[in-house]
Amino acid sequence: MLDNYHLNQLAEPLLAWFVDHARVLPWRERPEPYRVWVSEIMLQQTRVEAVKPYYERFLKALPDVAALAACPEDQLMKLWEGLGYYNRVRNMQKAAVTVTEEYDGVLPADYGKLLELKGIGSYTAGAIASIAYGIPVPAVDGNVLRILTRVAADDTDIMKQSFRSAVEAQLGEMMRELTVPEELRRVLRDENVPGALNQAMMELGATVCVPNGAPLCEQCPLASLCEARRAGTALELPHKAAPKARRIEPVTVVLAEDAEGRFLLQQRPEKGLLAGLWQPLLWEGEALSAEEVCARLEALGLACEGIEPLPAAKHIFSHIEWRMSGYSVCVGSAEAPAGCVWASREQLQNEYTLPGAFKAYKKKLGL
Ligand code: SF4
């Protein structure tokens, strides 16, 4: 990696570039701790443009930590619907309860205490501490690792936790000791150097030293310092060891509709994949035939009055890939089996949150 001397050299051109090139983003307008937190959690899984409407809607419904802590689970899931990774918002709520009880509803201005909160790792703690409070701590994510390994032409595997920790330690030391010229400091928002430096890295990684395709080196403020650019190896970096192959799992999805046009939903277990979320009736690990589906439904007390196959679909989770075969089944009138509910189309729209894994079947459900 870069030594401290070279790391120091990055700071000034990066900050000066950020002053001129920072995009106007809703969470940048008022960088308050809660708003920074929400934006960072949302941005971990989704592109900036896609996050904007979710962010506005979330902040309008839950404008502060206390509102998040008190939000009913169904409403919270609905506000997060479309962003995926529902555990992240569940963890945010647990952290919000802690912040309400222990810190009077204000996220602590302390990196170590932020790290103790549920769902807040070193990146998010660094982002909140630096952007909202001006504390000199780094926020190291894929963008930062990409930029730094390119500038240093370092081919260490960036998936190694030991490498990430070493980068955090080095950047942290650099930030604590960094001095920037007064005229540059004055043009930064709130004269917040750590916040601007972390955001400058995020911005450069998102718009110039991009993850997909060729980096725009001719527009880069670090071009004259960048070893990978000099060596023509930018596209080969960062180095990432190949991830483990995903497990392929067959899944049978059944849209069971009763005589009143309601659909049967079942709630997933409290732990594991898509924990606690609602889904159509389904069987994991099995690609069932129409006859087998009818037999399973009958065992649940549901008559199979008509069955039609639906198009196959797939959904990729981090470690598993679902290969889904689907059926639409009319089941007449019946009690909902244990763990299931009948949901009208209106309830599906307003009350229940169906994960994105079922995107291919949402139209059929009127969503
Ligand atoms: Fe990335 Fe190119 Fe800038 Fe190097 S010069 S940091 S490769 S954009």
Q: What is the pLDDT of residue 7?
A: 83
pLDDT digits over 101-155, tens only?
999 999 999 999 999 999 999 999 999 999 999 999 999 999 999 999 999 999 9
Buried b / exposed e over 244-280, threshold 16 CB at 10 Å, is: eeeeebebbbbbbbbeeebbbbbebeeeebbebbbbb
How are beta strands 340-343 and 306-316 bridged, if at all?
A: unpaired
Report the sign of the C-alpha dihedral through residues 75, 81, 87, 88, in that order.
Answer: negative
> Has residue 4 got a pLDDT over 80?
no
Amino acid at site 190: D
Nearest atom in ligand 1 to the alpha carbon of residue 208 is 8
Interior/surface letters 299-321, b for 16+ CB within 10 angstroms, e for the rest:
ebebebeebeebeebebebeeee
What's the pTM value of the predicted model, to 2 decimals?
0.82
Ligand 1 touching residue 152 (CB < 6 A): no
Q: Residue 85: which pLDDT band, with cuts at 50, 70 and 90? A: confident
Distance 174 CA to ligand 1 centre (A): 20
Q: Give the model's confidence band at 334: pLDDT under 50 very low, under 70 low, under 90 confident, else very high.
A: confident
The whole-number average pLDDT for the span 227-244 is 93
Confirm or reject: Cβ of 343 under 6 Å from ligand 1: no
What is residue 3's predicted lDDT score, i.e. its pLDDT? 76
Q: What is the pLDDT of residue 82?
A: 86
- When pLDDT is cut at 50, 70 and 90, the band that residue 2 belongs to is confident
DSSP 109: S
Task: Give me the pLDDT at residue 242, please.
Answer: 83
How high does pLDDT run on average in the chain?
Answer: 94
- In the numeric block, which tokens belong to residue 337? 């089996």
* pLDDT tens by residue, 9-27: 999 999 999 999 999 999 9
Q: Which of 148-157, 241-250, 353-362 is modeled with the greatest confidence?
A: 148-157
pLDDT at 84: 84
Residue nearest to atom 2 of ligand 1 (CA): 217
User: Is the pLDDT confidence value at 5 over 80?
Assistant: no
User: Ramachandran region of residue 152, left (φ > 0), alpha (ψ -120 to 50) or beta?
Assistant: alpha
State in Å: Cα 197 to ligand 1 middle. 16
Tell me, what's the pLDDT at 103?
Answer: 98
6, 21, 219, 220: which to mutate for ligand 1, most atoms within 8 A of CB? Answer: 220
346: annotated active-site residue: no
Which H/E stretch holds residue 76? helix 73-80
Q: Which residues contact 74 (CB under 8 A, 6 or more apart)?
A: 351, 352, 353
Cβ contact 24:210 at 8 Å: no
- Residue 173 has what pLDDT? 94
pLDDT number for residue 127: 98
- pLDDT tens-digit map of 195-230: 999 999 999 999 999 999 999 999 999 999 999 999
Exactly one of 12, 29, 32, 40 is catalytic; name it: 40
**Hey, what long-range contacts does 316-320 have (CB within 8 A, 24 or more apart)?**
316/246, 317/246, 317/273, 317/357, 318/246, 319/244, 319/246, 319/247, 320/246, 320/247, 320/248, 320/249, 320/273
- Proportion of the chain above pLDDT 90, given as a percent: 84
Q: Ligand 1 test: best mutation among 226, 236, 237, most atoms within 8 Å of CB?
A: 226
